Amino acid sequence: MNSVKTLAIAAGLATAMVSNSSAEEITVSAWGGFFEETLKSAIYPGFTEETGIEVRSIAQPADQAWLTQLTNAARAKKAPADLSLVADEVFIRGQSIGLWANLDAADIPNTATLLDGFTKESEDGALNAVGALTWFTTFVTNTDAAPDAPTSWADLWTRDWDGKLGLTSNSNSGLIEATALTFFDGYDTMETREGLEQIIAKIAELKPQVQLWYRDEGQFQQSLEAGELAGGLYYHDVTMLSAADGRPVTSTFPQEGGILGDAYWIVPRDSKNIDAAEQFINYMIRPDIQAKLARNLGVAPVAKRETMDLTDEEFAAISTTGNAIRTQTAIHLREGDWLSDKYLEMISR
């Protein structure tokens, strides 16, 4: 059976499930601003048209504040939303305290079209989350200041950047993972504090080249576009949008891979509309909807490349088929304040 037929069957199953839910409306929360407004105007109406289920869209606060709200609501056996879009860290924290509903994988057949690693299960094998979207952090450069695109994360260390690198001061940016894969034994090196200290010491070698350790992403972008910075770590999609607007910037996926950030759909355990929520997830991960998300929001899809109709140019603007560096969220959570303090101590010395 070819992939097109498989998708057609999956779509048919999705349509067939419509009659299984009695919900007339579901509440869906997502990050606010342009992101939530675009989902509300360009994506959700298609779900309502196909299923008859209205979507009430709400903007959720920053990750930690939203997790606190979900936790407090669970204590009162309530769900502030039937579905929520959460980053990997929020998913892991919530799963550890039993916040998420168990989903029926048979009711979400379009998971067959997802890239590996985008379904999350509990310890006893129950489906707890499904991938929603991804984004990449890459090696970005000002093309006037650095005409030759880098090929490896090692270029951060081996080139003369004239003291004009910009790196985030967040220990969870993915630079630790990129350094571990480029110079050490990969993610295994991060399993011990001794290994993490070796990685941080390697990053400290960059300090003479770093002009800006940023928390303000807008400051980095502005400085890179102006040529005050020659390069650094930043979002691939935003950089490509800047390049399309004529700014002298470009984004490069190093041979070791871009740094992948990911988000998931979860259903709070006290939702009364789990069947409808499963229909919604099945719709959102469908390849044509993943392509629509990429075109409207610039996010990278979680569907397999061959299942979507994105042109090569469209796909290159938001993603890659090459390696991906996965942020080791569980290690960052386990080491918590210790790792953050060590990283900031390195920067401030």
Which tokens go with 336?
A: 């918590």
Decide: helix, strand or coil at residue 118.
coil
Query: What is the structure's pLDDT at 237?
Result: 84
Measure CA 145 to chain center. 29
In the chain (349 residues long), the average pLDDT of successive 10-residue segments reads: 37 42 88 92 97 97 93 97 96 96 98 96 96 96 96 96 96 97 97 98 98 94 97 92 93 95 96 97 98 93 96 90 91 96 96
Q: What is the pLDDT of residue 316?
A: 86
Please choose, from the candidates 61, 123, 94, 135, the residue with its C-alpha nearest in 3D space to the C-alpha of residue 266.
94
**What pLDDT, on a 0 to 100 scale, did the predictor assign at position 283?**
98
Distance CA 227, CA 103 (A): 49
Decide if 265 contacts 85 (C-beta within 8 A).
Answer: yes
Cα–Cα distance measured from residue 35 to residue 296, given in angstroms and rounded to the nearest whole number = 9
**CA–CA separation, 283 vs 181, rounded Å?**
36
**Do the bridges between strand 25-31 and strand 127-142 make them parallel or antiparallel, or are there none, so unpaired?**
unpaired
Question: What is the C-alpha separation between 111 and 128, in angstroms, rounded?
Answer: 13
Q: What pTM value is reported for the model? A: 0.82
Per-residue tokens: 12: 């048919």
Sequence-separated (6 or more) residues with CB below 8 Å from residue 38: 296, 297
Provide the pLDDT for residue 244. Answer: 87
Show the tokens assigned to 94: 């919530």
pLDDT at 21: 57
Q: Is 7 in contact with 25 (CB distance < 8 Å)?
A: no
Please say whether the beta carbons of 324 and 257 come within 8 A: yes
Q: What angle do CA 312, 315, 316 make, to 5 degrees?
A: 85
Q: Any residues with CB less than 8 A from the CB of 194 and at least 6 apart, and which? A: none
> How many other C-beta atoms are found inside a 10 Å radius of the C-beta of residue 232?
26
Cβ neighbour number for residue 98 with a 10 Å cutoff: 11
172 contacts: CB under 8 Å, gap ≥ 6:
89, 327, 329, 332
